[in-house]
A and B are shown apart, each in its own frame.
Chain A
Amino acid sequence: MNTDHRECDITGMVERHIMVAVDSSDNARRAVLFVGDFFGCYDGFQVTLLHIILEPEATFFRDNEERQKWLKKKRVESKKIMEEYKHILVDAGFSEDKVNIRVEIMRAPSVADCIIKEQEVMKCCTIVIGRRGISKKEEFIFGSTSNKIIHEARKCAVLVIE
């Protein structure tokens, strides 16, 4: 993907660049539908669909074969959902060349850290993310990606889709 992300300049706008952070969940799908509904009929926007696959340490797996199997499964899942999400956006009015797909396999303490890092690299104006609607207990133990992004993302807007 050879996108010049510096085009996204809020003050002297050339083209607005929206990042939609997705996974295979329903809330991610809702976030994609929202972006299609809201921005699909306007020119001057490009969208990057970002899927971070957080890879556990190699020691998490019994052996390398199990690890490769896990990664393959995640890649196949990702390819399928990204194609589906791209169709949603194209159907909503985005031209194909304005919808970028980016799948990154990373190791990090949290998905939110990876999304924020990618936003900084791509200089997107807006991060769109679906809210999982997890319980307070789950958030306490496992954390909340959307909450972390709201608190830690800088120099961009954050849209959290219920």
Chain B
Amino acid sequence: MEYILEAENLTKVFKTQNKSYFTAVDSVSFKLEKGESLGIVGESGSGKSTIARMLLRLTDVSDGKIYLYGEDITNFSGKNLRKVYGAIQMIFQSAEGSFNPRKTLGYSICESLRNLGMAGGEAKKRAEYLLEECGLNGEFLKKYPHEVSGGQCQRAAIARALAAQPKILVCDEATSALDVTVQKQIMELLTDLKNKNNLSYIFICHNLALVQSFCDRVLVMSEGKIVEEGTPDEVIFSPKSSYTKILADAAIESSL
């Protein structure tokens, strides 16, 4: 078994205004296998998004280690971190919010390619290809984020994430701002890309049904800790912890 990403006792402590401390993520450890889709579920405020941001080093890690292909990337910065972003990329919940409102989608997608050393014309061609791979035509390069629908914007965001040819995609609630039909299309796209590009996913989500259909393994989080781990079916149909029970019951109730 080959683990491509490992988190070891990952901890994030926030300092609050009145000098007390708040532990958002409390020594969380997990491993991601090559080609696997690992779901992370849990209520709002359980630390899911903070984990995503720590994995991509968008916020500092308070304690613990992150290993990418066995290499400790916890304290990487500058050029080294750029190399990390060639292997691991992220898709945000708000697609429109993840694009600079004053730049075209094409600019944002090409930015990544140019930073990899691609010339302007070549980058544009590549960006067009990436958009097509994500189900959009080349005309979207000239559009601004507010001019396209949420689903189209999320497709463009996926195209941008793929520009760096990553091996791991972290999806932070990537579909929860979309309506159900668009959600389904995006999930199909993600599945497609997974097979085509040999991607592994960390899929952060609060929708258990989605996790069940998409993920191989799922972590259940509550108050910054992992309370349960297993295959989606195990977690949903024979939950061990009381929190998972509540979560699963709520999911089954709401799907009726």
User: Bound pair: A and B?
Assistant: no
